[in-house]
Structure 1
Amino acid sequence: MAPSPLAQKAERTSAAESQDLQIPDSFRDLVGYYLRIAQEASFQAISKGTSAEDLKPGWYTLLTIIAENPGLPPSDISRLVGRDRSTLTSTMKLLNARGLISRRRNRADQRSYGVRLTVEGEAMLEKLRRIARAHDARLDAIVGADKAHFIAILRRIAEELGDENGPST
């Protein structure tokens, strides 16, 4: 069924508006702006690769960290992913509700718990790993021979700003 005339007009208007959009002059030399835009573009590309709206790009990082560090408490996971624990909590609850992770009380300290992947979590991680590898190959092609230098700069930004902001909790 063909789009209605009103829908066609909206599509033309939207396309015309996007051509008129320009980066504000005050953003043209801001590293932070381009970091954010690049991250969003990268996340959108990964999301397209998952073909499921409920899969989030950040899950790959979380599931990998949990797989490689079974029993790690959420506070340590939050430090490794660079997110404070309060924003990580909702994602962890969702992963738990989906059956991708399990939480087990720490025998030495009943107030804390460790996190592990379930069998379903391992299967999801493998699916996300394939998507991430394909996506990283695209990024490698974009960055090219400058990859080592680019990663070094990003690492320096993360380390210096992370140190400046103190540890995440």
Structure 2
Amino acid sequence: MTATAKPVEDLPIENENDILIPAAFRDVIGYHLRVAQEASFQAFNATLEKTDLKPGWYSILTILSEYEGLTPSELSRVCGRDRSTLTSTLKGLSIRGLIERRENPDDQRSYSVRLTDEGRNMYARLHAFAEEHDRRLDSIVGEDKDALIAILARIVGALGKG
């Protein structure tokens, strides 16, 4: 422990959720976005615990159910994930038989990704869990939902990669 660090038992208990939030982060939007995202992912994952489903698959399968034939680069932009981390997920989905790669006839280095029938079935299963999870989030956010979504969209618009 450094000279300025406080023992855990000396932390003020204003709000039970704030106990371990360092003072430097209490007003930091990015920190709260990340913690909220993690809490949401953990709750969604708990719902899927007894299944063979993975929460990270949902966004990819959803996007591919609406936009068939995206390249990995396009998919990366739409789902907001780095291309390098997306590649391993796509490989796992392909091994699982949930997606298929199709070479671009005009460019052998390029390919697109599509859902298989099994992928569509998996998407339907995940969608049912996601709808329930979203109802939970709606009840937490309440009438502030439209404002929250607008603020988050503003952040993405200002900071997101285009």
**TM class by smaller structure:** 0.7 to 0.9
Give, in angstroms, the shift of residue 79 of structure 1.
0.4
TM-score normalized with structure 1 length: 0.81
Specify the code of the residue in structure 2 equivalent to 1:90.
S
Give, in angstroms, the shift of residue 58 of structure 1.
2.2
Give, in angstroms, the shift of residue 59 of structure 1.
1.0
Give, in angstroms, the shift of residue 83 of structure 1.
1.4
Superposition misfits of 4+ residues, deviation over 4 angstroms:
none
Specify the code of the residue in structure 1 equivalent to 2:157.
E
Percent sequence identity is: 59
Alpha-carbon distance in 1 for matches of 2:50, 2:99: 19
Query: What SS does structure 2 have at the residue aligned with 1:111?
Result: strand
Q: Does structure 2 conserve the Cα–Cα contact (< 8 Å) formed by 1:104 and 1:115? A: yes
Query: What SS does structure 2 have at the residue aligned with 1:142?
Result: helix
Q: Structure 2: where are the runs of 5+ without partners?
A: 1-15
Larger RCO, structures 1/2 (Cα 8 Å, 6+ apart): 1
- Bigger shift: residues 44-53 or 136-145: 44-53
Q: Does structure 2 conserve the Cα–Cα contact (< 8 Å) formed by 1:47 and 1:53? A: no
Q: How many residues align?
A: 146
Alpha-carbon distance in 1 for matches of 2:45, 2:122: 14
Alpha-carbon distance in 1 for matches of 2:106, 2:67: 18
**Cα displacement string for residues 42-74 of structure 1 (whole angstroms, at most 9, x for unaligned residues):** 001111111247633221110011111111111
TM-score normalized with structure 2 length: 0.84
Specify the code of the residue in structure 1 equivalent to 2:93.
L
| Structure-1 residue corresponding to 2:66 | 68
Q: How does 1:101-112 map to 2 (within 5 A)?
A: 101-112=99-110
| Structure-1 residue corresponding to 2:26 | 28
Alpha-carbon distance in 2 for matches of 1:33, 1:78: 23
Residue 144 in structure 1 maps to residue 142 in structure 2: yes
Alpha-carbon distance in 2 for matches of 1:111, 1:88: 17
| Structure-1 residue corresponding to 2:93 | 95
